[in-house]
Amino acid sequence: MAERGERKRKSLREKKKHRSDTSNPKKHTYTGAHSYKRHLSTTSNSQTPNSTMAKTKELSKDTRNKIVDLHQAGKTESAIGKQLGVKKSTVGAIIRKWKTYKTTDNLPRSGAPRKISPRGVKMITRTVSKNPRTTRGDLVNDLQRAGTKVTKATISNTLRCQGLKSCSARRVPLLKPVHVRARLKFAREHLDDPEEDWENVIWSDETKIEFFGKNSTCRVWRRKNAELHPKNTIPTVKHGGGNIMLWGCFSAKGPGRLIRVKERMNGAMYREILSKNFLPSARALKMKRGWVFQHDNDPKHTARATKEWLRKKHFKVLEWPSQSPDLNPIENLWRELKIRVAQRQPQNITALEEICMEEWAKLPATRYLL
C-alpha cells in the first residue's frame, strides 16, 4: 500500500510540473527558431545599402555562339559554364533558345499594346489631312469622345508613324488666280536660262527692319516636301510694321549700296535713289555689258515717270510677276540681315541703322543668289 501511494504522489508531482511549464512560455527554448532569427539578424546587419543584386549584363553574341558550338561538340552544360565563366542556367537557356528558334539573337519584343486602334489612327490621320491646323488637344478630345483616352505625346507619335510632322506654317504671298498665271508664265519663259544670265542681274527691293518683329507661328501637320502646299502656309501681304525702311541691291558679285529711306517713298524719291545709289552700285559691281535691272511692280516702280527715266538711262528691266517677293533672291539677304541685326540687339534707331549697314557689307551675296 505504501509503495502504491508513493507512485501516485510521484505521478501527481510530474503532472503539476508539466502544467507549470506549459503555463510559462518563457521557460521554452526553441533552439532552431532562435538560431534562424540570429542568422537573419546577422545577415541583415552585414548587408550594405549598395549590396542589392545588380542587373546581369547581357552576354555578347560571340559568347552565345561559343556556347552553341561547345554544345554541338558534345560538352555538357556544366562544362560549358565552367569553361566560359557562365552560369549553368544561362547556358541551358541559350541552348534551348537555339534549339527552338535556330538563332541566339534577341527576338523581337511585342511591347505594350497600342493605345489607339487602327480605326482611331485612320480617323485622326483623316482629320489632320482635311485640316492641317487641327491641334493635338482637338485630336485628344475627338478620341476621348470615341472612348479612347490618350495623351498629346501619343498623338504626336502616332501621326509621326504616318509620315506627318508638326511644323510651322510657311508665310507666302496671298495669290489670286491672275497672280498664279503670271508666275507660271514667268517660270516657263526663264526655265532654260543659263546660270550666267542670272549672274548678270542686279536685284533690288525695299524692306523694313523691326526692333520687335512679330514671331507668331501656326503649326500644321504635313508630309515631307509639302511645306508650300496652300493648306500648309499662312498668306501674307507686303510690308508689315517696322521702325526703319531700307532700300538695297545686290548681284552675284556682291552687295550693292544699302540706304535708309527716312520719308514716305514716292516716285520722285525712288528715281533719286536709283540715280544716287543704284548707278554707283552697278559701276562698283563691274557688271558685264547688257546687265539687267530687277525691281517689283510697286506703283512707284511702274509709274510713267519712272519708266521714262529708266528708258532714257537705257536700263534693261526684267519683267516681273506681281505678288512675287518670294521669287526675288534678295529676300534671302533680308532674312539673313534681320537675323544678324537681332543678334546684336540694337538699343535705338541710330544703332539699328549703323548695325544694318555693318552687317549688310559682310553678307556673301553669291551664297543667296539661287
pLDDT in tens, 287-334: 888 899 999 999 999 999 999 999 999 899 999 998 888 889 999 899
Smallest CA-to-CA distance from 130 within 164, 94, 95 is with 164
| pLDDT of 344 above 80 | yes
**Same structural domain, 150 and 214:** no
158 shares a domain with 202:
no
- Kindly report, residue by residue over 161-171, the tens digit of the pLDDT: 999 999 988 88
Distance CA 325, CA 338 (A): 16
- Helices and strands (H, E) in the chain, number of each type: 15, 9
Cβ 252 vs Cβ 263: under 8 Å: no
- The separation between CA 284 and the C-alpha centre of its own chain, rounded to angstroms, equals 43
pTM: 0.55
Dihedral sign of CA atoms 347, 350, 351, 357 in order: positive
Name the residue range of residue 319's domain: 173-225+237-368
Residue 68: what pLDDT?
Answer: 92
Domain shared by 197 and 253, yes or no? yes
d(C-alpha 123, C-alpha 158), whole Å: 12
One domain, residues 152 and 254: no
Of 183-197, 227-241, 304-318, the least confident: 227-241
Residue from 335, 334, 354, 333 nearest 344 by CA: 354
The reply to whether 334 and 285 lie within a common domain is: yes
Identify which of 370, 341, 342, 335 has the alpha carbon closest to the alpha carbon of residue 357.
341
Phi then psi dihedrals of residue 261, to 5 deg: -95, 110
1 domain-assigned = no
